[in-house]
Amino acid sequence: MNQAAYTHRAFEPLFTSHIPFFKRIIAKYFSADEQADVLQEFSIHFFILFEKKYLTQAELFDSKAWLRTIVTHYCISLLRKKKAQKNAVWENTINTAILRAAESEVAREHELISLMSLALGCVTKQEALILKMKYMYQKSSREIEQRLAIQYVDVQINRIKLKIRKKLATTDHSWL
């Protein structure tokens, strides 16, 4: 019998015998809806640990303290990941009424979008990319210089703005 088959045969009864113990601990951290999923994910984590440690440290799997520590740390780790991924703005939007913008704000936003399109139409693709990196993606001048392999980005941005002002002389470009 190969080692993988032996490990699998030894894992199944061990895990099955500890399922009620694991469920009690998981229940302390997660709601009833999430517990089955967490137990399933934990079983994969536990199997990986089993493969690594069972042949050399089989006595660990008889220790309730060690098993409790593994489950507890796994649950805490999942909660941290869940908290890190949580987007509070989205959740609050779902739970509360969505605020609608005033007509003047919407009109102003459309005006800005059309002005930006006009402005970007006056410049080359590289100049448009420089402006987008600086103002839309909030990249520093140094980072733009490194990524695009150019020098003196601030000077170039000022020249691009001047070029746009000249081409759009009839338009209010105080936003620029």
pLDDT in tens, 127-157: 878 888 887 778 888 888 888 888 888 888 8
Q: Both 77 and 117 in a single domain?
A: no
Domain count, the chain: 2
Q: Both 119 and 84 in a single domain?
A: no
Asked whether residue 81 is assigned to any structural domain, the reply reads yes
CATH of the domain at 38: 1.10.1740
pLDDT score at 172: 55
pLDDT score at 86: 62
Instruction: DSSP letter for 147, please.
Output: H
Mean pLDDT to the nearest integer, 31-35: 90
Mean pLDDT to the nearest integer, 99-123: 67
Closest CA to 18 of 52, 57, 53, 65: 65
Q: Both 57 and 10 in a single domain?
A: yes
In this structure, what token pair is assigned to residue 19?
A: 């399922």
Q: Both 88 and 13 in a single domain?
A: yes
Q: Both 86 and 156 in a single domain?
A: no
Q: Both 13 and 83 in a single domain?
A: yes
pLDDT score at 96: 44
Asked whether residue 104 is assigned to any structural domain, the reply reads no
Could you count the other beta carbons within 10 Å of the beta carbon of residue 67?
Answer: 18
Q: Both 132 and 73 in a single domain?
A: no
Please classify residue 158 by burial: count the beta carbons closer than 10 Å to its beta carbon, then call 0-12 exposed, 13-18 middle and 19+ buried: exposed
pLDDT score at 114: 72
Please classify residue 106 by burial: count the beta carbons closer than 10 Å to its beta carbon, then call 0-12 exposed, 13-18 middle and 19+ buried: exposed
pTM of the predicted structure, to 2 decimals: 0.47
Mean of the per-residue pLDDT values of the chain = 78
CB of 15 closer than 8 Å to CB of 45: no
Asked whether residue 62 is assigned to any structural domain, the reply reads yes
Label residue 68 by pLDDT band (50, 70, 90).
Answer: very high
What residue numbers bound the domain in which 132 lies? 112-167
CB of 121 closer than 8 Å to CB of 94: no
